[in-house]
Amino acid sequence: MATIVEHEMKLHVSPSIDERVIDHFAEKQRGNAKPEPDHEHLALSSALKTAREEAHALVDLTNAIYADASQAPAAAAIQVATAAQKTGERVAARLVAANAKVDATIASLEKTTFAPEGASQLDPEIRAALKIMTPSERSKVFADALAANDTSILGPVLRAPGLLTGMTSTELDSLRHRFRQKQFPVEMRRLERLKKMRAASDVAGGAFVKLVKEAADSKFANGAIAARAKREAVLAAHQQQEA
């Protein structure tokens, strides 16, 4: 029994499986350490809290099972593997739902801030005029338009495919970034926070999956499960012959 625990079942909960890895990205008011309400953040934080609690519970259960000398090692390995699989399914459902909620909001914010609304019949002419300018000339036009909040100049470029603008992708990305920061400062700060939370969630999810696999897919557990399946198949065949 000790051999299994020492060589295969040394489970550890990664520090990344913790709601605090995303909570510090939440918006806070000055002098207020408590995060501002954000449904996407709360959903993700709750899912990671569940993951953290379930991860520690799985480790505790594993240690308790393997410390019980009253049952055979094979039975203990199967019990741990079964518990790990069920834990993984519960947590995965929570994380997938929370991640989907965040992804939908990120996509919505990206779409909302992508370009000014309201296409005009003059859009092709404005793009044509900008296209024949040098990069420095365009830069001056765009700087003036941004300063004046003139979306009639910015919109035709930001709404169109890059091929129609005569601008490099770097030039276009820079203009879009400046437009977003100017027109949607609140939305862009939130978008940045959510992207960081989502990245941290992926790291936590990966660490949780690794923990579950270490518990459920140990060589000893796999061997025990395969042996049980073979035994049950032989028993079923024998019972059919008797019938």
> Could you tell me the residue ranges of all domains in the chain?
2-113+185-242, 123-183
Question: What residue has token string 């295969």?
Answer: 8
**In angstroms, what CA-CA distances link 172 with 21, 23, 169, 194, 198?**
33, 33, 5, 24, 26
Q: What is the pLDDT of residue 31?
A: 61
Q: What is the pLDDT of residue 3?
A: 47
- State how far the Cα of 149 lies from the Cα of 183, in Å rounded to an integer: 8
pLDDT band for 75, please (50, 70, 90 cuts). Answer: confident
- Note the Cα 100 to chain centre separation in Å: 8
Tokens (6 digits) for 37? 């309400």
Q: Span 150-159, mean pLDDT?
A: 93
pLDDT band for 201, please (50, 70, 90 cuts). Answer: very high
> Whole-prediction pTM value?
0.80
Which of 114-123, 201-210, 212-221 has the highest average model confidence (pLDDT)? 201-210
Portion of the chain with pLDDT greater than 70, in percent: 82
Q: Is the pLDDT of residue 165 over 80?
A: yes
Contact 52/19 with Cβ under 8 angstroms? yes
pLDDT band for 162, please (50, 70, 90 cuts). Answer: confident
